[in-house]
Structure 1
Amino acid sequence: MNKMLCVLALTFAVVVPAFADDAKTIAQRVDDKWIEAFNKKDAAALTALYTADAVLLPQGVDQPIIGTENIRKFMDQMVNEKLQNMVLPVAQANMIDPNSLYQAGTWSADAGGQQIKGTYMSVIVRDGADWKYRADTWNMMPPPPATVGSGSANK
């Protein structure tokens, strides 16, 4: 009995970290495809990274964006934004089950010479042989407060 418990504990200790590493690798691979399509301003390729029933919740929308047709309309507009050098590093990713995971992280991009950044969270699922976003939400952090001149009023 003790041998069996030791084997189970050792198996769990080895398999669980590998499972987590796989989630992060999968998430980063899907995110890299998203970045590639975004940098090419390819709305069709961006839309293809989402399941047919996917839901987007970007900052500033008053209703969820649901399904391929609506996601494509949103992506058509988004690729026209003046954003460059976008990065999406994955901070955390965990498998929900063998066919789905969630991820969270930060993003940043250059917008007209100013860096903007925010956070995101996505659910990615196996869709046939591919991994795709089923749910995707992001927001943008407010710009830093304007700094007042370097002079001091208290002399």
Structure 2
Amino acid sequence: MKHILPALILLLFSLPATAQDNPIVARMQAFQAAFNAGNAEAVAGFYTENAALFPPRSGNVVGRAAITAHYAQAFQAGVGGLQLDILEIRQHGPDTAIEIGETMVEAGAQRIHGRYLHVWAREGATWRLSRDIFNVIGTSPR
């Protein structure tokens, strides 16, 4: 019984960061707004200059210019309506964090459900996406 309190304290300090005041949560909310506005340039601005995007069933997209073109093509094809569910954010040192979550986007007559893993890098005071990996886990009609 006397070991329960220390164990609970350790558990509390080891939980992943998911508070709404987390700067990465705020960045993802702004990312979602830029995505849903169809603004490829603004979306790409959330990535580091040498970031890599790993879309499913596609080649790697490396660098901010290529990421801008990738999102511009997606928006031109009618992709939008991004919804995010951040499941976990864990900071690894002062300048790196890992985020895991689930998404839903609308594309034509479908809703595409997916999971993602983001590697965030702090550049000065700003968190930017360094690596973005996502998978499709299912579709449903709109």
Q: TM-score, normalised by structure 2?
A: 0.79
- How far apart, CA to CA, are the structure 1 residues paired with 2:16 and 2:124? 20
The 5 Å alignment of 1:34-53 reads: 34-53=31-50
Corresponding residue of 1:100: 96
Displacement of 1:21: 4.2
SS at match of 2:38: coil
Corresponding residue of 1:60: 57
Aligned with 1:82 (options 78, 85, 94): 78
Displacement of 1:24: 8.3
Q: What residue ranges of structure 1 are gaps of 5+ in the alignment? A: 1-8, 145-155
Of residues 131-140 and 82-91 in structure 1, the stretch that sits farther from structure 2 once superposed is: 82-91
- How far apart, CA to CA, are the structure 1 residues paired with 2:115 and 2:99? 11
Higher helix share: 1
- How far apart, CA to CA, are the structure 2 residues paired with 1:18 and 1:143? 31
Select the structure of larger CA radius of gyration: 1
Percentage of identical aligned residues = 22
Displacement of 1:129: 1.9
- How far apart, CA to CA, are the structure 2 residues paired with 1:143 and 1:15? 36
The total of aligned residue pairs comes to: 134
- How far apart, CA to CA, are the structure 1 residues paired with 2:21 and 2:134? 18
Q: State the 4+ residue runs in structure 1 displaced beyond 6 angstroms.
A: none
Q: TM-score, normalised by structure 1?
A: 0.73
Cα 1:121–1:18 shift into 2, 3 Å: closer
Letter in 2 for 1:132: R
SS at match of 2:17: helix
Displacement of 1:57: 0.2
Q: What residue ranges of structure 2 are gaps of 5+ in the alignment? A: 1-5
- How far apart, CA to CA, are the structure 1 residues paired with 2:15 and 2:139? 38
